[in-house]
Chains A and B, each alone.
Chain A
Amino acid sequence: MSDIETTAEAPEETQAPEETEAPAEAQPAADDNQPVDVAKIQSILESNLGARMRTWLSICARCGLCADSCFFYLAHDKDPKLSPAYKIKVTLGEMYRRKGRVDRQFLKQAKEIIWGQCTTCRRCSMFCPFGIDMATMFATARAVCNSQGVLPAGLARTKQNIIESGNQMAMANEDWIETCEWMAEEWGEEVAGLEIPVDVPGAKYMYTVNPREPMYYPQDVGMMAKIMHCAGESWCVPTEGWDCTNLAMFCGDKAAAAIPVRNMYASAQKLGVQYILMTECGHAYRSGAFEGPYFLDIPGGKPPVPVKHSVQLFLELIKSGKIKIDPAKRLKEPATVQDPCNVSRNAGLWEMLRELSLLLCEDFRDMNPNGAYNHCCGGGGGFIPMGPEYKRRRMQSGKVKAEQIRATGAKVVISPCHNCFDQLGDLNKEYKLGYKVLSFKELITEMMIVPEHLIPREEDDDDAQGGEE
């Protein structure tokens, strides 16, 4: 693992290695004739046909107000076939209308819409007079397709990893812990006494990550250790349930989506921590804080241990003075912040993103629209792990975000989400926008003042004895 480069630059293709892509894509058209399990489809449709679903399906006024809210629609010259209501009508609406009696070809066409034309960002729900929760409807349509094995190959692979190993990249727990040890050692050179505590009962925070951090960006783990250590926070990482992401959620697979949250909650409860702390990742927070309890059928619908996103903690630490930012190191270049849908609109943290940005940047410029009204970057809802097959579409629909960023003139885009991070990197190249994408923890570790007593002494430096007590 030691040969991994860790820079702010996103790798050419992100997520799982892509060499395996070509054979996996070669799905012969012949399997169109494979029968579908209609009874299974009917049972999924039936079990999701609650009061809300019935109401939504029956009262859509077909007013078209949702169209303008959708970035797929806006990015494609207002193609009416990309309005959310239309996409529902020809997928889930059709499944219910035909009472589940659909064929494989229909499911394959539906797949291109429910995954290829929607990131379940929930912006449309804010613009619908009835507040129809279209993301939930798309999730049901995804569940139907998923039940017949019709889903983007990239997501199917990731889901398999989760089922087999408990995390999306099939990383062994030992490798995760080893990465933590390696990072503790490396970052220990920068901060005296730095460690990454493992499985500490009664710690305040149990820190969970996106597996691509230990896999491709191990420095991210080191950065967090620096922040936590300098702030003097009580924290640990768990040996199990350390993956806070949940791409099975975007497959519409409730059973598989329950696996990572069950592991994570179980570790937090076993250790008796006060909070599950999450890395800068959007969908992980949506899963852990909001949807996870429903995958596990937890009465009351709340996580058993409160979940905190990194940006919440960072803001607390800086405001309380536990972490001090060197004013001279604040970002001079024009900067903007990307509102990840699952951090801003769907989790209510958008003001915190701005407070934090203003503390770190001298020239902060907001996008328009922003906050709860932000546009999805185009990489959410499972789009990034859907891989190269969908990349062209991802770049086209990302036009809305690219234009938004261009209008700010920002040279730095801060992204507290891994999916946004990758998408923004790709958009940067595609639209030649010339910005850098950074996470908050990268900025903070760069700008923070390491407390005097934590500055490592050079052992063979003779002058150093003067500082001894």
Chain B
Amino acid sequence: MRELYEFLSGTGVWIAFVVFTGGLLARLAFLAGLSRERDKVVYNHFDGGWAWRSILHWLLPLGSVSFRQQPLFGIAFWVFHAGLLVTPLFLGAHNQLFAEAFGWSLPTLPDRLADWMTIAVMAAIVFLFARRLARPEVRILSTAWDYALLIIVLAPFLTGFLAYRQIGPYELMLNLHLLTGEVMLVVIPFSKLGHLILFFFTRAFIGSDMGARRAIEGRLGARTW
């Protein structure tokens, strides 16, 4: 167990971060190269202001007409994403490890708050999972992989929560936490979770295309949010 921990918390973390960063960068570089040749429409009509608003409104809680039509989902969605990004990055324990490894760390969240945020993320995942099953128009689209991804994202939160609360065998929980966290990072660049980066590009395109491109000579542009 001890050796496994050594591996997962050392080499494992490195592998995960290299694959995560490298994978995302490679995917981005490939798409950027391809776009120069095949997606001229993106460059022809790009507009910073429209792109930015098209991104921002979908990042704000209930910032889009679409989410306001399903406010419960909109809130669960936002809590899920915000918690997913903020909690691991600003967690005290993680930053202690950053400090030991690199000599620097980020500002940290109070442990109690992080604890509640973890619970909120898990609750949101349960909601998203249930919604997938409950709504016919979502169920018909969902593949086994869509459900699996929710579990892949849930796992590091659940194990981290249990390890912190010292529920169950601590060492096993810690190893599972490292393992599932690393699996999640590795999966991101090669799945729909790549939207972590690609979201910004698709939104910038549609915001410019339906907005700025149509908004000349006294015309308006459609807001895609």
Task: List chain A positions with a Cβ less than 8 A from chain B.
Answer: 47, 49-52, 54-56, 58-65, 67-69, 73, 78, 80-81, 83, 85-86, 89, 122, 125-133, 290, 294, 299-302, 306, 308, 312, 345-352, 372-373
Q: A52, B194: Cβ atoms under 8 Å?
A: no
Q: B65, A373: Cβ atoms under 8 Å?
A: yes
Query: Contacts A52-B35, A348-B220; is A65 near B66 (CB within 8 Å)?
Result: yes
| New A-B pairs, 17, CB < 8 Å, besides A81-B140, A129-B67, A130-B199 | A51-B201, A52-B205, A55-B31, A55-B201, A60-B192, A62-B146, A63-B138, A80-B136, A86-B137, A127-B64, A129-B64, A130-B195, A131-B203, A302-B44, A312-B219, A345-B210, A372-B220
Q: A62, B205: Cβ atoms under 8 Å?
A: no
Point out the residues of chain B lying under 8 angstroms from A132, CB to CB: 202, 206
| Cross-chain contact of B138 among A62, A308, A349 (Cβ < 8 A) | A62
CB distance from A419 to the nearest CB of B (A): 19
B209 at the interface (CB under 8 A from A): yes
Q: B194, A290: Cβ atoms under 8 Å?
A: no
Query: Contacts A51-B35, A301-B41, A345-B222; is A130 near B138 (CB within 8 Å)?
Result: no
Q: B31, A51: Cβ atoms under 8 Å?
A: yes
Point out the residues of chain B lying under 8 angstroms from A73, CB to CB: 137
The CA of A302 and the CA of B67, in the complex, are separated in Å by 34
What is the 8 Å Cβ interface bit string for chain B, positions 124-154, against chain A (1 contact, 0 not)? 0000000010011111111100100000000
The CA of A154 and the CA of B40, in the complex, are separated in Å by 32
Provide 23 A-B residue pairs closer than 8 Å at the C-beta atoms, listed in order of the A residue: A51-B34, A51-B35, A51-B39, A52-B35, A52-B42, A55-B202, A58-B192, A59-B194, A61-B192, A62-B143, A63-B73, A78-B137, A80-B136, A86-B140, A128-B206, A129-B58, A129-B66, A131-B206, A131-B210, A133-B205, A300-B44, A312-B217, A348-B222
Closest to A369 in B: B65
Q: A294, B35: Cβ atoms under 8 Å?
A: no
CB distance from B169 to the nearest CB of A (A): 35
A-B contact count (CB 8 A): 153
Point out the residues of chain B lying under 8 angstroms from A349, CB to CB: 219-220
Q: A54, B34: Cβ atoms under 8 Å?
A: yes
B224 at the interface (CB under 8 A from A): yes
Closest to B145 in A: A62
Q: A126, B202: Cβ atoms under 8 Å?
A: no
Point out the residues of chain A lying under 8 angstroms from B94, CB to CB: none
Q: B142, A62: Cβ atoms under 8 Å?
A: yes
Q: Which of B178-220 contact A (CB under 8 A)?
A: 192, 194-195, 198-199, 201-203, 205-207, 209-210, 213-215, 217-220
Q: B195, A86: Cβ atoms under 8 Å?
A: no
CB distance from A351 to the nearest CB of B (A): 6
Point out the residues of chain A lying under 8 angstroms from B215, CB to CB: 348
Closest to A347 in B: B214
Closest to B212 in A: A348
Q: B195, A59: Cβ atoms under 8 Å?
A: yes
Point out the residues of chain B lying under 8 angstroms from A126, CB to CB: 65-66, 210, 222-225
CB distance from A301 to the nearest CB of B (A): 4
Q: B214, A56: Cβ atoms under 8 Å?
A: no
Point out the residues of chain A lying under 8 angstroms from B206, CB to CB: 125, 128, 130-133
Point out the residues of chain B lying under 8 angstroms from A67, CB to CB: 137
Point out the residues of chain A lying under 8 angstroms from B224, CB to CB: 125-126, 131
B54 at the interface (CB under 8 A from A): yes
CB-CB nearest 5 A-B residue pairs: A131-B206, A50-B38, A348-B219, A51-B35, A64-B138
The CA of A112 and the CA of B165, in the complex, are separated in Å by 56
B11 at the interface (CB under 8 A from A): no
The CA of A224 and the CA of B41, in the complex, are separated in Å by 34
The CA of A86 and the CA of B139, in the complex, are separated in Å by 10
Q: A78, B202: Cβ atoms under 8 Å?
A: no
Point out the residues of chain A lying under 8 angstroms from B195, CB to CB: 59, 61, 130
The CA of A234 and the CA of B156, in the complex, are separated in Å by 71
Point out the residues of chain A lying under 8 angstroms from B137, CB to CB: 64, 67, 73, 78, 80, 83, 86
What is the 8 Å Cβ interface bit string for chain B, positions 40-72, against chain A (1 contact, 0 not)? 111011000000001000100000111101100
Closest to B38 in A: A50
Point out the residues of chain B lying under 8 angstroms from A373, CB to CB: 65
Closest to A125 in B: B206
CB distance from B54 to the nearest CB of A (A): 7
CB distance from B65 to the nearest CB of A (A): 7
Q: Which of B45, B132, B203, B222 has the most CB of A within 10 A?
A: B222
Point out the residues of chain B lying under 8 angstroms from A299, CB to CB: 40
B32 at the interface (CB under 8 A from A): yes
Q: Which of A69, A131, A302, A346 has the most CB of B within 10 A?
A: A131
Point out the residues of chain B lying under 8 angstroms from A302, CB to CB: 44
Q: A301, B45: Cβ atoms under 8 Å?
A: yes
Point out the residues of chain B lying under 8 angstroms from A122, CB to CB: 210
Closest to A54 in B: B31
Query: Contacts A68-B69, A125-B210, A312-B218; is A301 near B140 (CB within 8 Å)?
Result: no
Point out the residues of chain A lying under 8 angstroms from B40, CB to CB: 299, 301
CB distance from A59 to the nearest CB of B (A): 4
The CA of A62 and the CA of B194, in the complex, are separated in Å by 14
Point out the residues of chain A lying under 8 angstroms from B219, CB to CB: 312, 347-349, 352
Point out the residues of chain B lying under 8 angstroms from A346, CB to CB: 210, 214, 222
Q: A52, B192: Cβ atoms under 8 Å?
A: no
B221 at the interface (CB under 8 A from A): yes
CB distance from A469 to the nearest CB of B (A): 40
Q: A51, B32: Cβ atoms under 8 Å?
A: yes
Q: Which of B41, B42, B70 has the most CB of A within 10 A?
A: B41
Point out the residues of chain A lying under 8 angstroms from B31, CB to CB: 51, 54-55
The CA of A131 and the CA of B199, in the complex, are separated in Å by 9
Closest to A63 in B: B138
The CA of A37 and the CA of B194, in the complex, are separated in Å by 34
CB distance from A23 to the nearest CB of B (A): 38
| Cross-chain contact of A348 among B139, B143, B221 (Cβ < 8 A) | B221
Point out the residues of chain A lying under 8 angstroms from B39, CB to CB: 50-52
